[in-house]
Chains A and B, each alone.
Chain A
Amino acid sequence: MKTINDEQFTAWSRGLRDSDRQAYTRVFEATYDALYRYAWYFTHDEETTYDVLQDVFLKLWQVRERIDPARSLKALLYQMVRNTALNHIRHARRHAADALDEMVIEPASSSPSESSFDVQALDDHIRGWIDELPTRRREAFLLSRYQGLSHAEIADVMNLAPKTVNNHIVLALQHLRTRLLAHQPDLVTP
């Protein structure tokens, strides 16, 4: 998704607004993979993830005439995935208010091993340190670092002030830097 430039997205926005099914298909093909991962981040369940994707793309077609080409289509898609996924979780859990709370206590997906400094081990460490971040900070960081969203887009998706997104990313990087310094200082100092 990173490789698609903003002009392309704007062109697709226009196409969608004009009910261009080819533009719709292109959007689907270009984005489902990244959106699938993002939805899975919330659902942790393949079946639910497919449901979320289907709901989002059906909805996208339903609202196509109201799409604002000035607004990032990417941000719109991510926001729809986010809201739909959280709704699915809420329904699944019955306890609506718990849906977001649940995310707070996400497990460290891999417990960092203590020895060897090879790349794989370092990646595991970093993954563990990313897991240590508070939920929303981690989500903002994932969207920025791995999904290639701009800060303005992240603010749009997560319904945050752009300044807050900035702070989240800077604090996330500072956290990683602190951990890296303690772990292997030569990696972060020139």
Chain B
Amino acid sequence: MPDLETWLAEHPDLDPGDLAAPWRLAEGANPLDAAPAPDPARIQALRTVLLQSTANGAPQPSRRAALRRAPFAALRPWMAAAACLVLLVAAGLFFWNTPVTVHAPYGETARVALPDGSQIQLNSGSTLTYARRFTDAATRRVQLQGEAFFDVAKTGGPFVIETFNARIAVLGTSFNVRAWPNDGNAGTLVAVQTGLVEVAAKGHPHEALRLEPGEAARVAATFDAPTPEANLDPAAATAWREDRFVFVNQPLGVMFDEIERRFGIEIKAPEKIRQYPHNIGTKVTSAEKLVSDLCGSVTAFKLRYRAMANGFEVFEQ
């Protein structure tokens, strides 16, 4: 091992033998072995180009002369035809590059089956975007605004979910992502059911947090590195999938927003009420039942509600 003395000086607590074994065992596991071997003919061509370009007094050859496959000059008589082809290809590319967007309207949830076999359930008001050529890329990539449960198909390649402030990388696994930019408790919350998930803030890609089943983490809206959410009940994170309404120590505003999305209605409430943190766990039957349960379970002050044309108004008596 190189520089062993330096390591030990910096880590007096370490036993050199502890590190020697993994160092030795890693010998045959070079990930760079996956690189294809360089083609001797290409290397020879490259060597020739380099030697020409370094010859004393030789004019600088056009760069990459020997490496480019087809000289573009040969295309000249066919320029017009080529231009047409380029236009056609461009039109095709434009179509192929238009992303696919799936939106679950207020009052509904949506199920999305991606071309790779991954299943996604979108909560009300949520939007999922992905490339039409989704499976072409080495990395499967989707963008999420809102909340969704992901059951990611194992293909060997990574699957990346981007929210407004976080990047979540997974192999094959299932987990819940909640990322409402304008939520009372804004941020991205990831709760893992099976498999391994890596979460990072978009601004801090190198400070990723690795989550195991049952674990959860939040990337705050301040775009800081993710923090573990040790107290999150994994069942609470996916309660929406079973039409249950479970929030632990969340501002009432977060719950009102959720009801608005789930039922496509509007809930008016003063900011003081919206800020009040509360717990609730109940079955989702109707919007009114939820509003009534919420008002009835708050004991710090007396909450009342009344029906409006397109929803409810919650106020303090």
Interface positions of A (Cβ within 8 A of B): 21, 24-25, 28-29, 32-33, 36-38, 40-41, 44, 46, 49-51, 53-54, 57-58, 61, 100-102, 104-109, 111, 119, 122-127, 130-132, 134-136, 138, 142, 144-148, 150-151, 162-163, 166-167, 169-170, 173-174, 176-177, 180, 187-188, 190
Whole-angstrom distance from the CB of B130 to the nearest CB of chain A? 15
Given known A-B contacts A50-B42, A177-B21, A170 and B26 have beta carbons under 8 A apart: no
Given known A-B contacts A33-B38, A53-B46, A127-B29, A104 and B22 have beta carbons under 8 A apart: no
Given known A-B contacts A130-B31, A146-B30, A169-B7, A104 and B167 have beta carbons under 8 A apart: yes
Having A54-B50, A100-B205, A146-B31, one finds 16 other A-B pairs with CB under 8 Å, namely A28-B47, A32-B43, A41-B35, A46-B39, A49-B38, A50-B46, A51-B67, A54-B64, A61-B50, A131-B31, A142-B32, A150-B3, A162-B6, A166-B10, A176-B26, A180-B25
Q: Which residues, 18 to 38 on B, are CB-close (under 8 Å) to A?
A: 18-19, 21-23, 25-26, 28-32, 34-36, 38
Whole-angstrom distance from the CB of A123 to the nearest CB of chain B? 4
Interface positions of B (Cβ within 8 A of A): 2-3, 6-7, 10-11, 14, 17-19, 21-23, 25-26, 28-32, 34-36, 38-39, 42-43, 46-47, 49-51, 53-55, 63-64, 67, 138-139, 154, 156-158, 160, 167, 169, 171, 198, 200, 205-206, 208, 210
Given known A-B contacts A107-B139, A107-B157, A21 and B54 have beta carbons under 8 A apart: yes
How would you classify the secondary structure of chain B's contact residues: helix, strand, loop or mixed?
mixed
Residues of A within 8 A of B42 (CB): 50
Whole-angstrom distance from the CB of A44 to the nearest CB of chain B? 7
Determine which of B25, B46, B51 lies in contact with A54 in the assembled complex, contact meaning CB atoms within 8 Å: B46
Could you name 10 residue pairs across A and B whose Cβ atoms are closer than 8 Å? A21-B55, A25-B47, A32-B46, A50-B67, A54-B49, A107-B138, A107-B171, A145-B26, A166-B6, A180-B25
Residues of A within 8 A of B28 (CB): 119, 123, 126
Given known A-B contacts A61-B50, A104-B169, A180 and B21 have beta carbons under 8 A apart: yes
Residues of A within 8 A of B39 (CB): 46
Whole-angstrom distance from the CB of B14 to the nearest CB of chain A? 7
Given known A-B contacts A51-B64, A107-B139, A130 and B29 have beta carbons under 8 A apart: yes
Query: Judging by beta carbons under 8 Å apart, are B54 and A38 in contact?
Result: no
Determine which of B7, B21, B36, B200 lies in contact with A188 in the assembled complex, contact meaning CB atoms within 8 Å: B21
Which of B31, B43, B206 has the most A CB atoms < 10 Å from its CB?
A: B31
